Structure 1
Amino acid sequence: MKNYKVLILFWSFLGSSLLAFSQATDFVSSNYEKSEYQIPMRDGIKLHTVVYTPKDQSKKYPFVMQRTPYSAGPYGEGKMKTLLGPSEKMMQDGYIFVYQDVRGRWMSEGEYDNMRPTVPVRKKGSKEIDESTDTFDSIEWLLKNINNHNGKFGQWGISYPGFYSAASLPFAHPALKAVSPQAPIGDFYFDDFHHNGAYFLSYWVATSVFGYQHDGPTDKPWYSMVNTGTKDAYQFFFFIVSLKNADQYYGEDNFFWTQLKENPDYNEFWQKRSIIPHLNDVKPAVMTVGGWFDAEDLYGPLTIYKTIEKNNPNTYNTLVMGPWSHGDWARESGQQQVSNIYFGDSISTWYQHHVEAEFFEHFLKGPADGKTNLPEAYVFDTGNKEWRMFDAWPPKEASERIYFPHANGKLNTQIPMGNESSTFVSDPSKPVPYSPDIKFNFTPRKYMADDQRFAARRPDVLVFETDVLEEDVTLAGEILAKLMVSTTETDADWIVKLVDVFPPDTPDHERVQQGTHLSNYHMMVRSEVIRGRYRENFSEPKPFVSGEKTSVPLQLQDVMHTFKKGHKIQIQIQSTWFPLIDRNPQKYVENIFKADDSDFIKATHKVYHDAENPTAIHVQVLK
Structure 2
Amino acid sequence: MTAHETIMDYIILRDVMVPIRDGVRLATDVTLPARAGKPLPGAFPTILHRTPYDKSAARLSEVTVTRREPKTNGQIAIELAKAGYAVMMQDCRGRHGSEGVFQKYIGEGEDGYDTLAWAREQDWCNGDFGTFGLSYSAHVQTALAILRPEGLKTMFLDSGGFWNAYQGGVRRGGAFELKQVTWAYKHARLSPAASDPLVAAALGAENISDWFKAMPWRRGLSPLRHAPEYENYLFDQWERGAFDAFWQKSELYSAPHYETLARYPTFLICGWYDPYAETMLEHYKGLRAAGGEAELVMGPWLHGRRSQTHAGDVDFGPSSVLDRQIAPDYDSLRLAWFDSRLKSAESGARPSAAKWFCMGGGDGRRDSAGHRMHGGQWREDAHWPPSFTQPFSFHLTGDGGLQPAEAQPARIDYQTDPANPVPTIGGAITSGEPVMEGGAFDQVVTPATFGASAPYLPLAARSDVLVFASEPLERDFEIAGPVELHLTLSTDAPDADVTIKLIDWAPPSEDYPAGYAMNLTDGILRLRYRDDWAAPKMMREGEKTAVTVAATPVANLFKAGHRIRLDIAGSNFPRFDVNPQSGEPEGGGRCRRIATTSLHLGGPDGARLVLHAAR
- TM-score when normalising by structure 1: 0.80
Alignment of 1:348 with 2:326, yes or no, is: no
AA aligned to 1:299 is E
1:318 to 291, 295, 310: 295
Output the CA distance in 2 between the equivalents of 1:518 and 1:340. 16
Alignment of 1:605 with 2:582, yes or no, is: no
Alignment of 1:618 with 2:610, yes or no, is: yes
Alignment of 1:336 with 2:309, yes or no, is: yes
1:541-620 matches, within 5 Å, as 541-589=536-584, 591-596=585-590, 599-620=591-612
Alignment of 1:416 with 2:407, yes or no, is: yes
Output the CA distance in 1 between the equivalents of 2:86 and 2:97. 21
Worse-superposed segment, 525-534 or 217-226: 217-226
AA aligned to 2:541 is S
Worse-superposed segment, 184-193 or 454-463: 184-193
The equivalent of 2:461 in structure 1 is: 457
AA aligned to 1:96 is A
Residue deviations 1:353-387, cap 9 Å, x none? Answer: 67444322211222353466x85111111224121
Query: Are 1:106 and 1:220, in contact at CA under 8 Å, matched by a contact in 2?
Result: no
State the shift of 1:246 in Å: 7.9
Output the CA distance in 1 between the equivalents of 2:476 and 2:11. 54
AA aligned to 1:247 is L
1:210-289 matches, within 5 Å, as 226-227=203-204, 233=209, 236-238=211-213, 240-244=214-218, 247-251=221-225, 254-272=231-249, 273-282=252-261, 283-289=263-269
The equivalent of 1:160 in structure 2 is: 136
Output the CA distance in 2 between the equivalents of 1:247 and 1:137. 37
State the shift of 1:571 in Å: 0.5
1:89-488 matches, within 5 Å, as 93=83, 95-116=85-106, 130-147=107-124, 151-186=127-162, 187-208=164-185, 226-227=203-204, 233=209, 236-238=211-213, 240-244=214-218, 247-251=221-225, 254-272=231-249, 273-282=252-261, 283-294=263-274, 296-310=275-289, 312-313=290-291, 315-329=292-306, 332=307, 335-345=308-318, 347-350=321-324, 351=326, 352=330, 355-370=333-348, 376-384=353-361, 385-417=376-408, 419-435=409-425, 441-442=432-433, 446-453=437-444, 454-488=458-492
Residue deviations 1:560-584, cap 9 Å, x none? Answer: 1111222111100000212222221
Query: Are 2:183 and 2:432, in contact at CA under 8 Å, matched by a contact in 1?
Result: no
Counterparts in 2 of 1:160 and 1:138: CA distance versus 1, 3 Å: same
Query: Are 1:464 and 1:572, in contact at CA under 8 Å, matched by a contact in 2?
Result: yes
Query: Are 1:424 and 1:606, in contact at CA under 8 Å, matched by a contact in 2?
Result: yes
Output the CA distance in 2 between the equivalents of 1:368 and 1:518. 57
- Matched position secondary structure for 1:165: helix
Query: Are 1:492 and 1:586, in contact at CA under 8 Å, matched by a contact in 2?
Result: yes
Output the CA distance in 2 between the equivalents of 1:398 and 1:421. 32
Counterparts in 2 of 1:470 and 1:94: CA distance versus 1, 3 Å: farther
Output the CA distance in 1 between the equivalents of 2:600 and 2:462. 19
Counterparts in 2 of 1:550 and 1:221: CA distance versus 1, 3 Å: farther
Worse-superposed segment, 381-390 or 528-537: 381-390
Pairs aligned (count):
552
AA aligned to 1:429 is A
Query: Are 2:10 and 2:82, in contact at CA under 8 Å, matched by a contact in 1?
Result: no
Percent identical among aligned pairs is: 26
Counterparts in 2 of 1:441 and 1:62: CA distance versus 1, 3 Å: same
Alignment of 1:526 with 2:517, yes or no, is: no
- Matched position secondary structure for 1:428: coil
Worse-superposed segment, 187-196 or 564-573: 187-196
Counterparts in 2 of 1:196 and 1:227: CA distance versus 1, 3 Å: farther
- Matched position secondary structure for 1:289: strand
State the shift of 1:228 in Å: 7.4
AA aligned to 2:592 is F
Output the CA distance in 1 between the equivalents of 2:41 and 2:463. 70
Query: Are 1:207 and 1:257, in contact at CA under 8 Å, matched by a contact in 2?
Result: yes
Output the CA distance in 1 between the equivalents of 2:341 and 2:196. 34
Q: Larger % of helix: which?
A: 1
AA aligned to 2:358 is D
Output the CA distance in 2 between the equivalents of 1:601 and 1:63. 57
Output the CA distance in 2 between the equivalents of 1:428 and 1:472. 39
Query: Are 1:89 and 1:353, in contact at CA under 8 Å, matched by a contact in 2?
Result: no
- Matched position secondary structure for 1:181: strand
Counterparts in 2 of 1:430 and 1:218: CA distance versus 1, 3 Å: closer
Counterparts in 2 of 1:354 and 1:486: CA distance versus 1, 3 Å: farther
The equivalent of 1:67 in structure 2 is: 50
Worse-superposed segment, 545-554 or 343-352: 343-352
Q: Provide the alpha-carbon RMSD of the alignment.
A: 3.5
State the shift of 1:485 in Å: 1.3
Query: Are 1:132 and 1:172, in contact at CA under 8 Å, matched by a contact in 2?
Result: no
AA aligned to 1:303 is E
State the shift of 1:158 in Å: 0.9
Query: Are 2:426 and 2:519, in contact at CA under 8 Å, matched by a contact in 1?
Result: no
Query: Are 1:115 and 1:188, in contact at CA under 8 Å, matched by a contact in 2?
Result: no
Query: Are 2:120 and 2:126, in contact at CA under 8 Å, matched by a contact in 1?
Result: no
Output the CA distance in 1 between the equivalents of 2:479 and 2:244. 34
Output the CA distance in 2 between the equivalents of 1:547 and 1:74. 55
Query: Are 2:504 and 2:518, in contact at CA under 8 Å, matched by a contact in 1?
Result: yes
- Matched position secondary structure for 1:349: coil
Alignment of 1:504 with 2:481, yes or no, is: no
Please, which runs of 5 or more residues in structure 1 have no aligned partner? 1-28, 117-129, 509-516
Residue deviations 1:114-151, cap 9 Å, x none? Answer: 322xxxxxxxxxxxxx544433332233243253x665
Output the CA distance in 2 between the equivalents of 1:343 and 1:459. 32
Query: Are 1:401 and 1:619, in contact at CA under 8 Å, matched by a contact in 2?
Result: yes
